[in-house]
Structure 1
């Protein structure tokens, strides 16, 4: 009987033959490099297949990197926001310290110009009653503060001490409606009294006749009368002079030179001439004689 299918070489024979052919090709290619062109053609032909095979892995890596980058950017953004907020707070504190340093420098400059002994106190509270102009300071009888003691800022007279506790005191401002301060025109010595009006930026000068030599822009200084305030300290500047022929006195207003609504510190003054036998506390200072300026008469 004749077989329909002829039987070829066995599987082992085929494997051995393929191995021999492969080894021969490898040896020939290694020595003479005949298969380089074929390899290049196969590499180009199979490159799309490599891309398709690697697509899931590369896509997964891209997605992972994208989410990781997004998360990292969000974390960096939050960290930068916190750092920016912290820097803003520090900047505000630095601005506050710079302003405080400037105020203290101005107070110390004022202290150098004053021959009397002085002490710097901090304003710790302000009376919220709009009809009472007074502040609370952090120095009291333990620091030698006394009732009637003058209080100044870097520019002019603020007021006087009206109540003293061991560690705090109340200062009545010159604009309080109950306060009156003997003053004189620095230009010519015309004397009057500066009365508080209850308005933080206004003083009234009553009982000056229409022919009084006083003009807008005149500087008012303490006259020294009454024994509370030493003479020559700036108080206010005349802002309005109204002379009505039908009235016996002129209507005169002045604006305080001191920054009463902005003061954070005040300068307390000891007038040794008016306090006989009193020794100021150790933390009070006295300006050197050679740097001091004589108060204006």
Structure 2
């Protein structure tokens, strides 16, 4: 150590007093540079890896949050067209009850059915997430279909383009109700039993009518693509295009609509009549007021 210290001191003195040592120092730095680079490689790799992983994780988390936010906003916007048309038709009913938001969870595509005659897919939500058979499935644009089979961690969805799928809809412009059935192709739906004189036009938006209680009312389903009137035929041939991106969507919403209200006389409901109504009923069937009605 003493010799090294003396040599270092001598080199420092010579470097300070003589200019020739600059060339020697430059050549020595050139020789030592590869060694320094090799020594610094592990730390550089570790720093780069940690930075890349942290940036990637942050980007993935941000991307997931943005996707969920887009789906949430799309879920709210989808009902605006239906609510606007309903408010125009019912604006005189100032006491009409407002519609509540439908709860939902997000889901992601796992796989598509390989059968060319069946339009189905598998998503990553199952019984542990509360999904059930018949649950409506949406994407950012409109209705996709409904769940037909549920396992613990995944569910099978029947797309509305499948030939075995049908649902009740209504024309958003005027409220006419029809049945839409899949055609077996992703970009085509058939509107069934449309009278030749029905007020339906190309470009009309078809939304869920809420009948049968499976699909909540007001969600976009399809847009009328073609209306063909055959002379002498009682029904027109109407085709529609789904508004949902059935072949491109990877993220979906699973809706939890409230159960349909029971009809009067079901589930323990009792129909109670006022005295005025009872008196009117007696007069209608010819029972005197002083007699007991059957």
Do both proteins adopt the same fold according to a TM-score greater than 0.5, normalized to the shorter chain?
yes
Select the structure with the greater relative contact order (CA < 8 A; seq sep ≥ 6): 1
CA distance in 2, matches of 1:171, 1:228: 14
Name the counterpart of 1:125.
Answer: 110
Structure 2 spans left out of the alignment, 5+ residues: 1-17, 80-98, 268-294
Name the counterpart of 1:186.
Answer: 172
Structure 1 spans left out of the alignment, 5+ residues: 1-50, 278-297
Alignment of 1:254 onto 2:241: yes
CA distance in 2, matches of 1:216, 1:144: 39
Displacement of 1:229 = 1.4
Name the counterpart of 1:20.
Answer: none
CA distance in 2, matches of 1:143, 1:124: 15
Q: CA RMSD in A?
A: 3.9
2:142 to 149, 156, 161: 156
Name the counterpart of 2:182.
Answer: 196
What secondary structure does 1:250 align onto? strand
Name the counterpart of 2:260.
Answer: 273
CA distance in 2, matches of 1:73, 1:247: 88
CA contact (8 A) 2:137 2:255 kept: yes
What secondary structure does 1:160 align onto? strand
What secondary structure does 2:100 align onto? coil
Displacement of 1:174 = 1.4
**For structure 1, which segment, 219-228 or 126-135, has the greater mean C-alpha deviation from structure 2 after superposition?**
126-135
Larger radius of gyration: 1
For 1:6-25, what aligned pairs fall within 5 Å after superposition? none
Distance 1:89 1:166, change over 3 A: closer
CA distance in 2, matches of 1:174, 1:90: 41
Name the counterpart of 1:100.
Answer: 64
CA distance in 1, matches of 2:67, 2:183: 27
Deviations 1:136-181 (A, max 9, x none): 3344344443221222234422211111224432221212232112
Name the counterpart of 1:14.
Answer: none
Displacement of 1:129 = 1.3
Displacement of 1:187 = 0.4
CA distance in 2, matches of 1:244, 1:93: 57
CA distance in 2, matches of 1:204, 1:216: 13
TM-score scaled by structure 1?
0.59
What secondary structure does 2:256 align onto? strand
